[in-house]
Amino acid sequence: MMDTMSNGGAGDMGVALLSRPALAVQVADALRELIMEGAIKSGEKIREKELTERFGVSRTPIREAMKILASEGLIELIPNRGAIISERSEEELADAFPVLAALEALAGEQAARRATDAELAEIVRLTVELRASLERQDRPHYFEINQAIHKAILVASRNETLMRSHATIAGLVHRARYQANLTRSRWEQALAEHERIAEALSARRADEVAALLKTHMMGKLAAILPGRGGPAD
Amino acid sequence: MMDTMSNGGAGDMGVALLSRPALAVQVADALRELIMEGAIKSGEKIREKELTERFGVSRTPIREAMKILASEGLIELIPNRGAIISERSEEELADAFPVLAALEALAGEQAARRATDAELAEIVRLTVELRASLERQDRPHYFEINQAIHKAILVASRNETLMRSHATIAGLVHRARYQANLTRSRWEQALAEHERIAEALSARRADEVAALLKTHMMGKLAAILPGRGGPAD
DNA sequence: GAATTGAATTATGAATTCATTATTCATGTC
DNA sequence: GACATGAATAATGAATTCATAATTCAATTC
Q: How far does A131 lie from chain B, in Å, by closest CA?
A: 30
Q: How many CB atoms lie within 10 A of CB B42?
A: 13
pLDDT in tens, B47-64: 898 889 889 899 999 999
What is the pLDDT confidence band of residue A85, given thresholds at 50, 70 and 90? confident
My answer on whether B160 and B75 are in the same domain is no
As a whole number, mean pLDDT of residues A104-129 equals: 98
Which of residues B224 and B188 earns the better pLDDT score? B188
Q: Torsion angle, CA of A210/A211/A212/A217, rounded to 10 degrees?
A: 90
Q: Cβ of A78 and B103 within 8 Å?
A: no
My answer on whether B171 and B157 are in the same domain is yes
Question: CB–CB of B65/B46 below 8 Å?
Answer: no
pLDDT at B87: 77
In a domain, A17, yes or no: no
- Identify the CA nearest to B170 among candidates B113, B225, B110, B220: B220
pLDDT at B39: 80
CB environment B121-137: b (16+ within 10 A), e (fewer): ebbbebbebbeebbeee
Q: List A78's β-bridge partners, or say none.
A: A82
Closest-CA residue of A relative to B232 is A113
- Identify the CA nearest to B215 among candidates B197, B228, B199: B197
My answer on whether B110 and B78 are in the same domain is no
Q: Cα dist. B62→A29, B30, B57, B232 in Å?
A: 21, 11, 8, 43
In a domain, B211, yes or no: yes
What is the pLDDT confidence band of residue B160, given thresholds at 50, 70 and 90? very high
Structural domain ending residue among the three candidates B64, B85, B106: B85
My answer on whether A197 and A105 are in the same domain is yes
* ipTM above 0.90 for this complex: no
My answer on whether A70 and A126 are in the same domain is no
As a whole number, mean pLDDT of residues B27-56 equals: 85
pLDDT at A194: 98
Q: Cβ of B102 and A98 within 8 Å?
A: no
Q: Is the CB of A81 under 7 A from strand C?
A: yes
Q: Cβ of A19 and B110 within 8 Å?
A: no
As a whole number, mean pLDDT of residues B5-34 equals: 60
As a whole number, mean pLDDT of residues A154-175 equals: 90
My answer on whether B133 and B211 are in the same domain is yes
In a domain, B176, yes or no: yes
In a domain, A79, yes or no: yes
Which of residues A119 and A227 earns the better pLDDT score? A119
What is the pLDDT confidence band of residue A5, given thresholds at 50, 70 and 90? very low
Nearest-by-Cβ selection for B169 from A21, A65, A165 = A165
CATH number at residue A65: 1.10.10.10
My answer on whether B177 and B118 are in the same domain is yes
- Identify the CA nearest to B232 among candidates A20, A182, A204, A100: A204
| A132 vs B136: CA distance, rounded Å | 65
My answer on whether A66 and A164 are in the same domain is no
Cα A132 to the center of its chain, rounded Å: 23
Q: Please return the burial class of A30, using the count of CB atoms within 10 Å of its CB with bins 0-12, 13-18 and 19+.
A: middle
My answer on whether A113 and A138 are in the same domain is yes
As a whole number, mean pLDDT of residues A106-110 equals: 98
In a domain, B202, yes or no: yes
- Identify the CA nearest to B88 among candidates B42, B51, B41: B42
Per-residue CB contacts under 7 A with strand C, chain A residues 36-75: 46-49, 59-60, 63
Nucleotides of C under 7 A from a protein CB: 11-17, 20-23
| B162 vs B179: CA distance, rounded Å | 25
Structural domain ending residue among the three candidates B85, B103, B124: B85
My answer on whether B161 and B131 are in the same domain is yes
Per-residue CB contacts under 7 A with strand C, chain B residues 42-61: 57-61
Question: CB–CB of B129/B121 below 8 Å?
Answer: no
pLDDT in tens, A122-151: 999 999 999 999 999 999 999 999 999 999
Q: Which residues from chain B sit within 8 angstroms of residue A102, using beta carbons?
A: 102-103, 105-106
In a domain, A102, yes or no: yes
Q: How far does A127 lie from chain B, in Å, by closest CA?
A: 26
CATH number at residue B144: 1.20.120.530
* Statement: residue A17 has pLDDT above 70: no
Q: Cβ of A19 and B63 within 8 Å?
A: no
Nearest-by-Cβ selection for B79 from A19, A102, A106 = A19
**Cβ-based contacts under 8 A for chains A and B:** 97
| B22 vs B224: CA distance, rounded Å | 38
Q: Cα Rg for chain A, rounded, in angstroms?
A: 20
pLDDT in tens, B64-104: 999 888 888 888 888 888 888 887 778 888 999 999 999 99
Structural domain ending residue among the three candidates B31, B52, B85: B85
Which candidate in A17, A18, A31, A71 is best for mutational testing of the B interface (most B CBs within 10 A)? A71
pLDDT in tens, A35-59: 887 788 777 888 898 899 889 899 9
| A195 vs A190: CA distance, rounded Å | 9
Q: Cβ of B99 and A80 within 8 Å?
A: no
My answer on whether A71 and A123 are in the same domain is no
pLDDT at A216: 96
- Identify the CA nearest to B134 among candidates B59, B57, B191: B191
Amino acid at residue number A38: G
Q: Cβ of A168 and B165 within 8 Å?
A: yes
My answer on whether A44 and A140 are in the same domain is no
Question: CB–CB of B104/B157 below 8 Å?
Answer: no
Q: Tell me the H-state helices in chain B.
A: 23-36, 48-55, 59-71, 90-114, 117-135, 139-156, 160-172, 176-179, 184-202, 206-224
| A82 vs B125: CA distance, rounded Å | 44
pLDDT at A178: 57
Q: How far does A57 lie from chain B, in Å, by closest CA?
A: 16
Question: CB–CB of A13/A48 below 8 Å?
Answer: no
Q: List B83's β-bridge partners, or say none.
A: B46, B77
In a domain, B71, yes or no: yes
Q: Is the CB of B140 under 7 A from strand C?
A: no
Q: What percent of chain A has pLDDT over 70?
A: 85
Cα B125 to the center of its chain, rounded Å: 22
Nearest-by-Cβ selection for A99 from B20, B71, B106 = B106
In a domain, B2, yes or no: no
Q: Cα Rg for chain B, rounded, in angstroms?
A: 20
Q: How far does the CA of A195 sit from the C1' of D18, in Å? A: 62
pLDDT in tens, B114-123: 999 999 999 9
| B16 vs B70: CA distance, rounded Å | 28
Closest-CA residue of B relative to A74 is B161
The residue range of the domain holding A38 is: 23-85
Number of domains in chain B: 2
What is the pLDDT confidence band of residue B112, given thresholds at 50, 70 and 90? very high
